[in-house]
Structure 1
Amino acid sequence: MTRRLLFVIALSVLFSPCTFSQAPKLDRQVAVTIDDLPAGMADRLPASDITAMTTKLLGTLRDQKIPVVGFVNEKKLYKLGEVDERIKALQMWLDYGFELGNHTFSHMSLNQRELKDWEDDVVQGESVTRMLLTQRKMKLRYFRHPYLDTGRDLETRRKAEEFLMQRGYRIAPITLDGWDWAFAGIYEDAKKRNDTALQQQIVKDYLAYHDAVFAYSEQQSAKLVGYEPKQILLLHASNLEADHIGELLDVLRKRGYRFIPLQDALSDSAYSLPDTYVGEEGTGWIDHWAITQGKIPQGAPVFPQWVIERSKELRLSTGQVSAEPQY
């Protein structure tokens, strides 16, 4: 977590968390994606809590008719005595009318492991998800890179892309990322301790930071692409999103967004632009486009320092899980 928080800070300037920015009325479009299913903190939550969280999250999304693809780490299904209930949490996504994608078995970084190990993890992460989709006559279509790590060098990146294409995947890029997982970790702790005041502060800053990220991403993508493309939002399965995603959706609506399927977003020509980004740190596609064009991304909003410090105190991870099932 620390290196990634430092990375985003290095690209940032200070923002005000007090008020949402006012955006002109535009016909903006965004696809919502949610990572780390069945839950980002699945190692710390009993299956009953995961089920309750999933029910609340999916209920809001269904009621508001938001198309969503959820990306699965199947490693998180394997906890002694809870496998069936955790799989049922994935089934709920399909029962509610949503789609599932592959996020590798163990949330493995392509930047930190050998390509063959990563490929094996991708395949291992397909078994349950593909079975559930096949039962509903659906296909496993989308892949999301853990940590957005697409490869330390261009050769590795291109080989990984070819591997995914041969297995029938379309990579799901992202352009809007407010690091909700970091807010979610400290929110989970505050909720367990019934610290209502802290929960309210977390939600306030979570919404304000996302609004600032949306404004930045809109401006930067317009400069780099020549127009605002159909955006793709990255979120994570958590109690924070279960409790407050409706408020975040309202922030997007105030900025003029309509919600579209991932397939429609990927039809935007922006996602076919030249992209040669490689590096130790995964990042979003706006940075990919900028660096490919020889430009340095500048002006991103600063992530709240107090959230960083609180995360360190709680020793929260970025979602990486061990390579072996938790039997």
Structure 2
Amino acid sequence: MKKINNGILIVMLSIFNLVLSAQSEKSVVITIDDVPQTNSSRSNLLSVLDSLQIPVSIFINENRVYSGGKVDSVKLLLLEDWLSKEYVSPGNHSFNHPRYSAIGVDSFSAEVIKGELLTRNLSLKYDKDLNEFRFPFNDLGKDSLQQIRIRNFLEDNGYNITPFTVESSDWMFNYLYATYLSQGDLENAQRIGDRYVNYTIRMFEFFEELVDEEYNRDIPHIYLCHDNRINSDYLAAIITRLSSLNYDFISLEEVLRDSVYDQKEYYHLKYGISWIYRWMEDNKLRKEYMRKEPDLMDIYKEYENMRTKIK
């Protein structure tokens, strides 16, 4: 009887260890675009991140630090506040946030260089590398030629193109959320905030299922969101939910070590889709997966209706 119990115990421990191992393989880095928001001298989102103390990569538009064509000292201090944090790593997001496919390689190259001047100095001050670039709108170019030209430029200037795997249209939720708050409609603001959190988690679940079908393993994810009001109030809830689903929060550098990010890209249009789709050689399969994404049509219609009313 004792031998049987020991055998059962060994099996149970083995299963438990396998479960723990599987759980620990889930990981994600939080990446935040359009930094810094300069509506005040202190970032509410940064205060939230201070309390969370997880690795974060930020992508900076330096035009936000200017007023009247000159560097605004108060806004520059806000940017420095971000970059002074040990848990924050910097990235270039261009100066003015233009669409690459619309302005072409020469103008866009100038945007990249102009968009790094302040950030590079602050990165040196805080002993951080500036070698990541994320395209505004994740628009890498309208065709393969345009994409190759800008890739070569970025590589020559020491930049990697920063991908993402999961995003949840936070910009659209934020428009509704901020508008309802400005109208004093707290009930609808909370409804939108809660929907944003739930939709984000559903998007993680969707891409986890897709990745399992494609690769038969977990991959470290890159979540894309923005420096905006809804994330100041709800990103912590998303982090809490992801933690409860056994995600580890790691740095962008750690994520990019996974071989999945070394794959060839087969998507050569301007639209800002997930890199999980870009790695699919079969265009028909890509479209099939994209059609299966969790539905957001009700929020889109609400967003369009709100914009029409405000115009």
The reply to whether TM is greater than 0.5 is: yes
Where does the alignment leave 5 or more consecutive residues of structure 1 unmatched? 1-23, 40-46, 317-327
Give the structure 2 partner of residue 69 of structure 1.
57
SS at match of 1:290: coil
Q: Structure 1 residues 177, 94: CA separation in 2 closer, same or farther (over 3 Å shift)?
A: same
Contact 2:164–2:275 (CA under 8 A) maintained in structure 1: yes
Give the structure 2 partner of residue 310 of structure 1.
303
Give the structure 2 partner of residue 89 of structure 1.
78
Q: Percent identity?
A: 27
Contact 2:123–2:129 (CA under 8 A) maintained in structure 1: yes
Deviation at 1:243, TM superposition (A): 1.3
Deviation at 1:96, TM superposition (A): 2.4
Q: 2: distance between equivalents of 1:153 and 1:225?
A: 27
Deviation at 1:257, TM superposition (A): 0.5
Q: 2: distance between equivalents of 1:198 and 1:87?
A: 35
Instruction: Determine which structure has more spread, i.e. the larger CA radius of gyration.
Output: 2
Give deviations 1:106-146, integer Å, cap 9, x for gaps.
11112222111111111111111112112223221111111
Structure 1 moving runs of 4+ over 6 Å: none
SS at match of 2:41: helix
Deviation at 1:293, TM superposition (A): 6.8
Normalising by structure 2, report the TM-score: 0.85
Deviation at 1:265, TM superposition (A): 0.3
Higher relative contact order (CA 8 A, sep 6+): 1
Normalising by structure 1, report the TM-score: 0.81
Map 1:243-262 onto structure 2 (within 5 A).
Answer: 243-262=233-252
Deviation at 1:315, TM superposition (A): 6.2
Q: 2: distance between equivalents of 1:292 and 1:87?
A: 46
Query: Which has the larger share of helix?
Result: 2
C-alpha RMSD over aligned residues: 2.1
Q: 1: distance between equivalents of 2:119 and 2:214?
A: 36
Q: 2: distance between equivalents of 1:37 and 1:311?
A: 25
Q: 2: distance between equivalents of 1:82 and 1:127?
A: 11
Q: 1: distance between equivalents of 2:78 and 2:304?
A: 27
Give the structure 2 partner of residue 168 of structure 1.
158
Q: 2: distance between equivalents of 1:185 and 1:110?
A: 24
Map 1:1-327 onto structure 2 (within 5 A).
Answer: 25=23, 27-39=25-37, 47=38, 49-52=39-42, 54=43, 56-80=44-68, 83-97=72-86, 98-291=88-281, 295-297=285-287, 298=289, 299-314=292-307
Contact 1:224–1:290 (CA under 8 A) maintained in structure 2: no
Deviation at 1:25, TM superposition (A): 4.5
